[in-house]
Amino acid sequence: MNRRSFLITLSAILLLFSAGCSSPKEDHLARIKAAGKITVATEGAWAPFTYHDATTNELVGFDVEVAQEIARRLGVDAEFAEGDFDGGLTGVRQGTFDMMANGVDVTEDRSQTFDFTDAYAFDRAVVVTKADRSDIMSFDDLAGKKTANSVGSTYAQMGEEHGATVVNVPTLGETMELVKNGTADATINANTSVQDYINTTGDTAVKTVAVDDEVTKYAIPLKKGEDNDSLREAINKALADMHADGTLSWISERYFGSDITKE
């Protein structure tokens, strides 16, 4: 072998060795662990899932504590970013936020855009009207009516699917006010949140008139793609462990007075 051939062969060997020894590209979970935090989108205005304590103004709620516990089991801190529901989903899709914890229900349309974790809570959608109304008794009765809901929410989509015109309202409290003053004919919302609102406020001016037959499954949306495969697996493991050791049930009982973590 002449000197030129030897040098070419040596260079090829070094390139192969270098390629074999190079560190793999870090995925999303690795970057989160390196940063020591996971950013969580949430509304902060939808009790008892995510809201501010009236006394301390601290961000609290079922989803807040679930996210904090997931973060703890991943070995990082949870850093919350508050905003409207649609903006939270957009931020996850664009990679601005690592995940969203806000009673996000799994739908076929959303599954085209996001990779969801396993479901960790279950609920049903309900129709709420002013207490003295009798013309709306089902979802189908919403046709031609006006409903109040957060833009981008499944509840807003359900209203549109049943023929209603949807008014964008950011918080449950404001939604109820529009129903009571007649600006909106009804609202579609989570049964758990509606019952919490009625129980905590004692408001008798509204009533639940219909309950959806289909169970709502809440899960955590992640940006779609293999970059999040290990993160989704890690969150699923954390959720499974929280189911097994009773943590999820305990958090649910604390905020709902019942266990909504089992279907």
Q: What separation, in Å, do the N-terminal and C-terminal C-alpha atoms of the chain show?
A: 72
DSSP secondary structure letters along 1-35:
--HHHHHHHHHHHHHHHHHHHSPPPP-HHHHHHHH
- Name, in order, each residue with C-beta under 8 angstroms of 129's C-beta and a sequence gap of 6 or more: 136, 179, 185, 186, 206, 207, 209
Q: Sorting pLDDT into bands at 50, 70 and 90, what band is 8? A: very low
Q: What is the pLDDT of residues 17-66, one digit of tens each?
A: 444 444 457 999 999 999 999 999 999 999 999 999 999 999 999 999 99
Pairing of strands 51-52, 114-116: unpaired
Mean pLDDT, range 172-183, rounded to an integer = 95
Candidate from 8-12, 57-61, 75-79, 117-121 with smallest mean pLDDT: 8-12
Predicted TM-score (pTM) of the model is: 0.84
Q: What is the pLDDT of residues 198-245, one digit of tens each?
A: 999 999 999 999 999 999 999 999 999 999 999 999 999 999 999 999
**Token pair 């309202």: residue:** 169
Mean pLDDT, range 107-127, rounded to an integer = 97
Residue 4: its pLDDT value, please?
A: 52
Q: Domains along the chain? A: 28-120+219-256 (3.40.190.10), 124-216 (3.40.190.10)
The yes-or-no verdict on residue 11 having pLDDT over 60 is no
Q: Are 222 and 27 in contact (CB under 8 A)?
A: no
Beta bridge partners of 147: 166, 186
Mean pLDDT, range 168-188, rounded to an integer = 94
- Measured at the alpha carbon of residue 67, what is the angle toward residues 218 and 105, in degrees to the nearest 5? 15
Q: Are 29 and 234 in contact (CB under 8 A)?
A: yes
In whole numbers, what is the pLDDT of the chain averaged over residues?
92
High-pLDDT (> 70) share of the chain, %:
91
Q: Are 254 and 162 in contact (CB under 8 A)?
A: no
Bigger pLDDT: 22 vs 103: 103
**The one-letter amino acid at 223:** K
Residue 148: its pLDDT value, please?
A: 96
Token pair, residue 198, equals 């009625």
